[in-house]
């Protein structure tokens, strides 16, 4: 149970790059980091516009002299201070992640980076090596994975409640971009520009979320080969896709599908994962994150609820308010931010955080690798490709 008592000796001195006024995801980072007092927001380069960034920073109680015009100045100036930053979160558009993450690691900082970590597996491997060399933690904000019922699903699969795993059906298919909303929405505009978004739109922006959830639930199976077909229903988005289907084969003989879409008209989030075993299936939907459907062949379906005593103890560890009360995205992110903080503190002691998982740099690399393989398949006529 989490009740706000400290998990670290001292809060980590923390800064943000991006995530300023009007950004989609900045507030979720701050809420998650500050919720359990594991981080203290002391500096930032919050905006591409320095003046707006400074004004914003002061409005979230950062001292004016620590609201910087850009991340390079921030890393340089903070390194001169005895109380300089120890960690930074990167919440800028995709095309900047690689260079900011590399600069942060070179400055000796722990990093929390938005997905996608970068554009190519080559870049991701370089960042992974750098993080190892510098002995710094890189956390990736696959935030939905912090929901407690994801841990319950992981435990059920590990303990054999489903039997042998055969099928993994995933989707993240919302309808918000069924039309060319990017004409009036800056947050969407860069997402359909390959120079800023990278080699994909919905595969990277949406599909990598349930993909990571599947990696958490099923750590022991690996993709062997995949086939992907991608489309741009709003033609101006081409070559980036607004819809894609990926079919996967795993090394244990299981198969999987992942539907990534922003043109699923009428759908809110539409992020679901259904894992089907030889005895039973489970299904989780991010619009009802406190519940996990458990269906045993030949028996009535059950809905398992967050915070209840019948769950495995591992899934109760991060309960904050007991069953019946709803917890949501903000709590899920806080759970991950707490793990990032504990991993950072362990690293500073020269140790590793062994007793819990979190989306680290290998998760960032895996997301980039999956997108790269999907695009290679799709752009060669939706052919099967060996997973590289």
The residues of the shown chain that bind ligand NAD, judged by CB under 6 A, are 17-20, 23-25, 45, 47-48, 71, 91-94, 96, 114-115, 141, 143, 186-187, 205
What is the nearest approach in angstroms of ligand NAD to the Cβ of residue 317? 22
Nearer of residues 68 and 250 to ligand NAD, judged by Cβ: 68
Nearer to ligand NAD, 201 or 294 (CB): 201
Nearer to ligand NAD, 19 or 256 (CB): 19
Smallest separation (angstroms) from ligand NAD to the CB of 55? 12
CA distance 327 to 147: 8
Residue 363 vs residues 115, 138, 170, 306, 336: alpha-carbon distances, Å = 10, 10, 17, 25, 13
Report, in Å, the least distance between residue 149 CB and ligand NAD.
Answer: 17
Listed residue (243, 203, 253) closest to 223, CA to CA: 253
Q: Which is nearer to ligand NAD, 113 or 156 (CB)?
A: 113
| Smallest separation, CB 197 to ligand NAD (Å) | 8
- Which residue, 294 or 340, has its beta carbon nearer to ligand NAD? 340
Q: How far is the CB of 114 from ligand NAD (least distance, A)?
A: 4
- Based on CB atoms, which residue is closest to ligand NAD, 100 or 385? 100
CB atoms within 10 A of CB 380: 11
Given the complex with ligand NAD, which of 245 and 333 has the nearer CB atom? 333
Beta strands 223-231 and 165-173, pairing class:
unpaired
Instruction: Give Cα 161 to chain centroid, integer Å.
Output: 27
CA atoms in the 13 A half-sphere facing the CB of 19: 28
Name the one residue in this structure whose structure tokens are 């539409």.
Answer: 270
Report the nearest approach of ligand NAD to the CB of residue 188 (Å): 9
187 or 236, CB closer to ligand NAD? 187
Query: CB of residue 176 vs ligand NAD: minimum separation in angstroms?
Result: 12
Using CA atoms, how far residue 121 sits from 116, 174, 202, in Å, is 11, 27, 18
Q: 194: exposed, middle or buried (C-beta count within 10 Å: 0-12, 13-18, 19+)?
A: middle
Encode burial over 232-259: b for 16+ CB neighbours within 10 A, e otherwise: bebeebeebbbbbbbbbbbeeebebebb
User: Minimal distance in Å, beta carbon 115 to ligand NAD?
Assistant: 6
Task: Transcribe 77-121 into DSSP letters.
Answer: HHHTSTT--SEEEEES-GGGHHHHHHHHHHTT-EEEEPSS--SSH
């Amino acid at each position: 149970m989490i009740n706000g008592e400290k998990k670290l000796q001292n809060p980590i001195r923390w800064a943000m790059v991006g995530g300023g006024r009007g950004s989609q995801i900045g507030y979720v980072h701050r809420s998650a980091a500050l919720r359990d007092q594991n981080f203290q927001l002391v500096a930032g380069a919050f905006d591409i516009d320095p003046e707006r960034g400074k004004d914003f920073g002061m409005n979230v109680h950062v001292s004016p002299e620590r609201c910087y015009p850009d991340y390079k100045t921030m890393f340089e100036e903070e390194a001169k201070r005895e109380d300089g930053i120890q960690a930074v979160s990167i919440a800028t558009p995709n095309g900047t992640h690689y260079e900011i993450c590399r600069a942060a690691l070179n400055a000796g900082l722990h990093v929390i980076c938005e997905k996608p970590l970068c554009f190519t597996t080559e870049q991701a491997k370089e960042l992974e090596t750098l993080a190892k060399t510098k002995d710094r933690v890189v956390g990736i904000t696959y935030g939905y994975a912090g929901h407690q019922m994801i841990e319950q699903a992981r435990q059920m699969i590990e303990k054999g409640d489903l039997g042998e795993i055969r099928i993994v059906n995933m989707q993240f298919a919302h309808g918000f971009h069924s039309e060319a909303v990017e004409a009036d929405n800056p947050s969407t505009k860069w997402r359909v520009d390959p120079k800023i978004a990278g080699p994909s739109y919905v595969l990277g922006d949406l599909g990598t979320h349930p993909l990571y959830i599947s990696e958490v639930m099923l750590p022991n199976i690996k993709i062997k080969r995949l086939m992907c077909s991608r489309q741009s229903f709003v033609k101006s988005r081409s070559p980036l896709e607004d819809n894609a289907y990926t079919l996967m084969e795993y090394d244990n003989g299981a198969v999987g599908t992942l539907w990534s879409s922003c043109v699923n008209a009428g759908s809110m989030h539409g992020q679901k994962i259904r894992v089907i075993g030889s005895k039973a299936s489970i299904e989780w939907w991010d619009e009802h994150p406190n519940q996990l459907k458990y269906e045993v062949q030949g028996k009535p379906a059950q809905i398992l609820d967050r915070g209840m005593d019948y769950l495995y103890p591992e899934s109760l560890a991060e309960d904050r308010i007991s069953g019946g009360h709803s917890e949501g995205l903000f709590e899920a992110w806080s759970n991950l931010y707490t793990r990032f903080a504990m991993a950072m503190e362990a690293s500073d002691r020269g140790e590793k955080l062994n007793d819990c998982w979190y989306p680290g740099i290998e998760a960032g690399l895996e997301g980039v690798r999956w997108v790269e393989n999907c695009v290679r398949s799709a752009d060669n006529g939706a052919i099967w490709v060996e997973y590289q």
